Structure 1
Amino acid sequence: MASTVTTEQAAKAPAPSRPGYGQLLRTRGAWTFLLPGFAARQPFAMLTISIVLLVQHTTGSYGAAGAAAAVTGTSMALSAPWSGRLADRYGQRAVLVPGVLVHTVSALSLTALALAHAPLWALFAAAVPTGASVPQVGPMVRARWGVRLQDSPLMTTAAAFESVTDELTFVVGPLLATALCTAVTPSAGLVTEAALTLVGGLLFAARRSTQPAVTARSGHARVEHASALRVPGVRVLVVTFLGIGSVFGGMQVSLAAFTESIGEPGLNGVLYGVFAAGNMISGVVCGAIAWKVTPERRLLVGYAGLALASSALWTAHSALPLAGLGLLVGMCIAPALITGYTLVEALVPAGARTEAFTWLTGAVALGQAAAVTVAGQLEDRLWGGAGFLVPMAGTLLALATLLALRSRLSAPPRNLTVARGVGHREPVAVD
């Protein structure tokens, strides 16, 4: 009888709550870094289009405008991992405060030089520090979620939430920058970007209670800081995210060229909006699911879907099928991004996670910059829409790497240590 009562009570017991967005946003202290973090990351999506519109207005050349934007993007991609590494080593505030100050001064200098019709080399000289000093707020927010949630099932939800936030940023930012540059003055976009970076970055840096702790180190010991790139799984993820960057870059160029070739250039924004909407929708859904499949398998399946969908883009000969394929590609990107960021939590020691996140962010930016260049050449030399071959090639190469090295995505044993100073040891993954 006792066992019967127990069974009945178990049947009436409430099911465990699923890790949803409501539960995530009720995490103690979350809003204290989410709101300033959203303001501080908004300029990230405004920078490229603001530079293009300003430099094109002052020089009359899209080539010069694209070159200045490319210098900025490459500088950002190369410096982002070192910014993350410094944040892990010395604290986010120690990197953010000087970073936003340098970025503000550099962006305003670039604006002044462009308005003064300075030579292109001078614009490049200002573009380098402008890109190098872009604050890596997205990775820093993800690192703060890791502190708050530890090994909670909500980590996947947090990764999805951040993916949706990133996508929203890349929808709102360019629209805001374009409106300012066209309705106010061509310099308004870059000036606003600098102001938002300064105010949002300083407010975010001020939330010291939520930032990851810096590991105490002896003042007399030489400290060897282990890079997140030493973790084999992170290197696999970097290649994976380069492929994702090729999709973003290839889509931007190829959609514009395709709509121009069919005589409907106004459809460019609509088609890219469909692509972005697919990303946002799948990101929201992905974060609301209580997954039972391992992250490694989710990444393999999701990335295979992304490669398959990207491989079909070049076959579209009209706007409607291209919109459908773009929606499908967008829906495949978010699960891959979310799962990749989730894997970092298991693969990388807490003291190197901000750096790991910035390696992935930088890989997307670098893949995007390379894809824009190659896709542009294909569009000029072949046919309208030939640039869609770039996302296909990028994702297929990344998928092949992922399949060959998938074993490296398994979480390493936590009892391995590396000496970081006299009497100080910390877990770390090794080759």
Structure 2
Amino acid sequence: MLTIGIVLLVQHTTGSFGAAGAVSAATGVAMALCAPQVGRLADRFGQRAVLIPGALAHATAVTALITLALSDAPLWALLLVAVPTGASVPQIGPMVRARWAHRLGGGPLLPTAAAFESVTDELTFVVGPVLATALCTGVHPAAGLVAEAVLTVVGGLVFAAQTRTAPPAHRDALAGRSGGSALAEPGVRVLIPVFLGIGAVFGGLQVSFTAFTEAIGQPAANGLLYGVFAGGNMLAGVACGVIAWRSEAHHRLPRAYTVLALVTVPLWFAAAGGSPVLLGAVGLLVGLATAPAMITGFTLVERLVPARSRTEAFTWLTGSVALGQALAATTAGQLTDGFGSTAGFTVPLAGTALAALAVVTLRRHLAPRPAQPAEARVVARGADHRVPVAVD
């Protein structure tokens, strides 16, 4: 709701898709840069200690952004307040994934849990854009962002209250005694362009669907088109959770990502034809291909990164999605302003093609390292009591 709410509000007040994409991009870049630091703090001090002030700060920043936009503030002012808006986004998704990894370890249910988490994420991607678009077009241009801020605070506080499932704090995680950043793992560095490309799909489609529906005189169809894409993502997520995979995740990811890059090719052609039905069908295919790549990437984190850095690792990936989404949104906005309402659909293709090239070339780094005798896995058994156990 945040990204599309910004795009709709700023485009309404400025009349420019380029300005809307730039403000959305500033929000995404700030989130991408700050999310890993928030993840490291959550690993060290616990999720609750980071989540509560973050949710309140985010609501304050969104309120300031709405006020400036409705006051016809200059673009530089909107960009300035977009920074704390993005930096304060609560990292609920990485925290939830870290809880699943903590509860399930490396067991066979972890891929199913990752798929379930992706399905719930995609449910919000189905409902969120439709709800934000309906509120912005039917109630008030700022109503989508108001709802986003309220839901963030309420949901964040409710989630923070669930202390039983939270992983333990690793207070030595930043002190140098337990290793450095999650980026020290080469596999995480390979996954970053993977998730940048996925962000390019999200950001490119959000702006391009908006421009396309405006051009054909059906702005209310924007949320529906994005909802169809997200619905395909959700359906594929369900399938990924049901399937008992025989191949390893590091073998599946290059294949899944190649498929994703290929299905983005028809987007521009469908949009150029001017048919929302055809564009929705292609968007559905893109959604069906996005979930397997995303779920497989998240599944790999548990096998590549130790527990003490896991929340940080997940935030690097979700931050990469936000950064890719931001860059794609501003690029698609500039292309739309300069070359027409269909030009932005080339952005998902370019982003996924480059990412597919990276993951195919560097796929050897995605294989989990074989455990050394001294590298025993540590499993939490009660408060402050950890028992080393051998890795299978």
Hey, what's the Cα distance between the residues in 2 that align with 1:271 and 1:115? Answer: 27
With over 3 angstroms needed to count, the CA separation of the structure-2 counterparts of 1:354 and 1:260, relative to structure 1, is: same
Residue number in structure 1 paired with 2:383: none
Q: Deviations over 1:103-131 (max 9, x none)?
A: 12222233333444444433333221121
Q: Match of 1:378, SS?
A: helix
Q: Deviations over 1:242-265 (max 9, x none)?
A: 111122222233334445556666
Hey, what's the Cα distance between the residues in 1 that align with 2:337 and 2:142? Answer: 30
Hey, what's the Cα distance between the residues in 2 that align with 1:257 and 1:186? Answer: 16
With over 3 angstroms needed to count, the CA separation of the structure-2 counterparts of 1:250 and 1:152, relative to structure 1, is: same
Number of equivalenced pairs: 372
RMSD: 2.7
Q: Which of these residues, 275, 278, 281, is aligned with residue 324 of structure 1?
A: 281
Q: Which of these residues, 171, 174, 193, is aligned with residue 148 of structure 2?
A: 193
Hey, what's the Cα distance between the residues in 1 that align with 2:322 and 2:156? Answer: 20
TM-score (norm 2): 0.85
Instruction: Give the CA deviation at 1:217.
Output: 4.1
Q: Match of 1:201, SS?
A: helix
Hey, what's the Cα distance between the residues in 1 that align with 2:262 and 2:19? Answer: 35
Instruction: Give the CA deviation at 1:56.
Output: 4.6
Q: Which of these residues, 384, 392, 410, is aligned with residue 349 of structure 2?
A: 392
With over 3 angstroms needed to count, the CA separation of the structure-2 counterparts of 1:183 and 1:274, relative to structure 1, is: closer
Residue number in structure 1 paired with 2:258: 304
TM-score (norm 1): 0.78
Extract unaligned runs of 5+ from structure 2.
Answer: 376-387
Instruction: Give the CA deviation at 1:58.
Output: 4.9
Q: Which is bigger in relative contact order (C-alpha 8 A, separation at least 6)? A: 2
Q: Which of these residues, 272, 281, 292, is aligned with residue 335 of structure 1?
A: 292
Residue number in structure 1 paired with 2:53: 98
Instruction: Give the CA deviation at 1:301.
Output: 1.5
The residue correspondences of 1:101-180 to structure 2 (distance < 5 A) are 101-180=56-135
Does residue 344 of the first structure (1) align with residue 298 of the second (2)? no
Residue number in structure 1 paired with 2:370: 413
Q: Deviations over 1:145-190 (max 9, x none)?
A: 1111112211111111111111111222233333334444444333
Give the greater-gyration-radius structure (CA).
Answer: 1
Residue number in structure 2 paired with 1:422: none
Hey, what's the Cα distance between the residues in 2 that align with 1:393 and 1:297? Answer: 23
* One-letter amino acid of the counterpart of residue 357, structure 2: A
Query: Which 4+ runs in 1 deviate beyond 6 A?
Result: none
Q: Deviations over 1:56-86 (max 9, x none)?
A: 5555555544433332222112211111111
Residue number in structure 1 paired with 2:225: 271
Does residue 77 of the first structure (1) align with residue 40 of the second (2)? no
Hey, what's the Cα distance between the residues in 1 that align with 2:218 and 2:138? Answer: 23
With over 3 angstroms needed to count, the CA separation of the structure-2 counterparts of 1:120 and 1:276, relative to structure 1, is: same
Extract unaligned runs of 5+ from structure 1.
Answer: 1-45, 418-426
Q: Match of 1:210, SS?
A: coil
Identity between Structure 1 and Structure 2 (%): 63
* One-letter amino acid of the counterpart of residue 228, structure 1: A
With over 3 angstroms needed to count, the CA separation of the structure-2 counterparts of 1:92 and 1:312, relative to structure 1, is: same
Hey, what's the Cα distance between the residues in 2 that align with 1:120 and 1:384? Answer: 22
